[in-house]
Amino acid sequence: NAGVTQTPKFQVLKTGQSMTLQCAQDMNHNSMYWYRQDPGMGLRLIYYSASEGTTDKGEVPNGYNVSRLNKREFSLRLESAAPSQTSVYFCAIAGQANEKLFFGSGTQLSVL
Amino acid sequence: GQSLEQPSEVTAVEGAIVQINCTYQTSGFYGLSWYQQHDGGAPTFLSYNALDGLEETGRFSSFLSRSDSYGYLLLQELQMKDSASYFCAVRDRASNYQLIWGAGTKLIIKP
């Protein structure tokens, strides 16, 4: 997980609360991603940013917003958390070729 | 739409060889990746195949057949530390070249 720092590692929210997951990288890569992983499933892309100043929706964007604050930082916001958003969230980065993703250590989020 | 199939669980013996298969259906295939994930950890990149054939990296090899929409990950000389989940992921034009992930194969290694 070297180079990609995610905070927080754990979070418990009540339904309707908001929060922001932070991701920062020190590898100078252009592309940044937010994924969620539910038990027994593969990763699903929420949003991604191919470069500073751009963001695009992934497979499951509903209920989330993102900000690419600068080249280093990409945040994920839940405006009004729902129990269906209980999951493990991973931030990832990729360089020019985009073939190799580097992941942060993950955030375990529970929404009660 | 896109879909990937891989076995949910595979069991093997320490020191043996195991093959984890992945079949996919996509409309604009670009490449197949493999990732390893230990329990409680983050996925880590293992390999990427864009062209047919075998790619070898140490004890791990990955194979792709584009005509059969099929690939596999081969792990040799299994060690207990190889116990993990293994995910195949496809890069596809229909998903704007972003990765679509399989559900993962849990590899259980017995001594």
Return the structure tokens found at B57.
């990296």
Contact at CB, B4 and A42, closer than 8 angstroms: yes
Candidate from A58, A100, A105 with C-beta closest to B98: A58
Contact at CB, A90 and B33, closer than 8 angstroms: no
Report the alpha-carbon distance of residue A46 to residue A90 in Å, rounded: 10
Candidate from A42, A100, A104 with C-beta closest to B104: A42
Mean pLDDT of chain A: 94
pLDDT (tens digit per residue) in B1-43:
678 999 999 999 999 999 999 999 988 899 999 999 999 999 9
CA distances from B33 to A21, B26, B109 (A): 27, 14, 22
pLDDT at A1 over 70: no
Contact at CB, A100 and B45, closer than 8 angstroms: yes
Report the alpha-carbon distance of residue B60 to residue B67 in Å, rounded: 23
Shortest alpha-carbon distance between residue B103 and chain A (Å): 4
Note the pLDDT of residue A2. 55
Q: Which residues of B touch A43 (CB under 8 A)?
A: 43, 87, 89, 99, 101
Q: B22 at the A interface (CB within 8 A)?
A: no
CB count within 10 Å of CB B16 equals 12
Report the alpha-carbon distance of residue B9 to residue A98 in Å, rounded: 29
Return the structure tokens found at A13.
């929210």
Q: B101 at the A interface (CB within 8 A)?
A: yes
Report the alpha-carbon distance of residue B107 to residue A17 in Å, rounded: 38
pLDDT (tens digit per residue) in A23-65:
999 999 999 999 999 988 889 999 999 999 899 999 999 999 9
Contact at CB, B43 and A59, closer than 8 angstroms: no
Residues of A with CB under 8 A from a CB of B: 1, 33, 40-45, 48, 56, 58-59, 90, 98-106
